[in-house]
Amino acid sequence: MSRLGRAAAISAALLLLALLSLPLLALVTEGAPAILLGALGSPLVLAAVRVSLATSLCSLLLVLLLGTPLAWILAQRRSAALGAVELLVQLPIVLPPSLAGLALLFAFGRRGLLGALFAHAGFSLAFSPAAVILAQLFVASAFYVQVATNAFRAIDERLLSVARTLGCSPARVFFSVALPLSLRALLGGAALAWARALGEFGATLLFAGNLPGVTQTLPLAIYTALESDTRTAAALGLLLLIVALLLLLLARRSAAGLLTRWSSR
């Protein structure tokens, strides 16, 4: 029975592995020849790479600047209210992207909750790279904030106490003790958030539209190209897959660093 059980477990695991790896393998076999044949040289592809890099780097910067203080506050103390905040931050991870796009439109669209306010201030997010950045921020920040919160929580409280008793200001405690100790984990969280921002599709399409060179990111270009040119779509897909894989490796290395550091303590 136990042998049978083990065989069943292995078969189940292999089945899932096959389901996960075959589509990726197919992407490689379709995409690699397309890349070699120069499918990535078209101006549309270059424009999409440029839009993707510019917007995702902006959203990453915002995630770091806004997410780090939030993670620090969440890690400092626990309360029902902060628990609710943590839940709120995590929600976009499980929201369908189309829903995220619609919610963003209702909030920040020209007819949205803040639309009139924006119009009064003389600016509009509609169909702008800023809308792409906002969509990416919405879906990606949770990945960074979660990792950062956990990293801050994992810091030995005694180190922070010692720093405080030695007369460090709260800001100095954060910048000289907490930040250096969590840097690797923060880097990993940033890599995850960046990968998610690069891959953002549904919310961007709904909220920011699809215009080459302005709001058309790589995932949108893949989807648009798919309908006339599967070769270019496969080439772009493989490119994104490689970038995503590198970012994931970076994130895992950082997480592993954090683990070994704590287990050796």
Closer Cβ to other proteins, 72 or 223, answer by number: 223
Residue type, 246: L
Binding of other proteins by 35 (CB under 8 A): no
- Pairwise CA distance, residues 216 & 50, whole Å: 10
Closest contact distance (angstroms) between CB of 202 and other proteins is: 12
Binding of other proteins by 27 (CB under 8 A): no
Q: Could you say which of 31, 67, 92, 109 contacts other proteins (CB under 8 A)?
A: 109
Residue type, 229: D
- Touching other proteins, residues 209-238 (CB under 8 A): 209-212, 214-215, 223-224, 226-228, 230
Q: Could you say which of 49, 127, 155, 241 contacts other proteins (CB under 8 A)?
A: 127
Do 109 and 131 touch, CB atoms closer than 8 A?
no
Q: Which stretch binds other proteins (CB under 8 A): 9-17, 109-117, 132-140, 157-165?
A: 109-117
**Buried residues in 33-63 as b, exposed as e (16+ CB within 10 A):** ebbeeebbeeebbebbbebbeebbebbbebb
Closest contact distance (angstroms) between CB of 124 and other proteins is: 8
Closer Cβ to other proteins, 130 or 179, answer by number: 130
Binding of other proteins by 253 (CB under 8 A): no
Closer Cβ to other proteins, 42 or 124, answer by number: 124
Closer Cβ to other proteins, 49 or 211, answer by number: 211
Closest contact distance (angstroms) between CB of 199 and other proteins is: 18
Q: Which stretch binds other proteins (CB under 8 A): 33-41, 63-71, 119-127, 171-179?
A: 119-127
Q: Could you say which of 6, 111, 172, 261 contacts other proteins (CB under 8 A)?
A: 111
Rule CB under 8 A: which residues touch other proteins?
A: 105, 109-111, 115, 124, 126-127, 205-206, 209-212, 214-215, 223-224, 226-228, 230
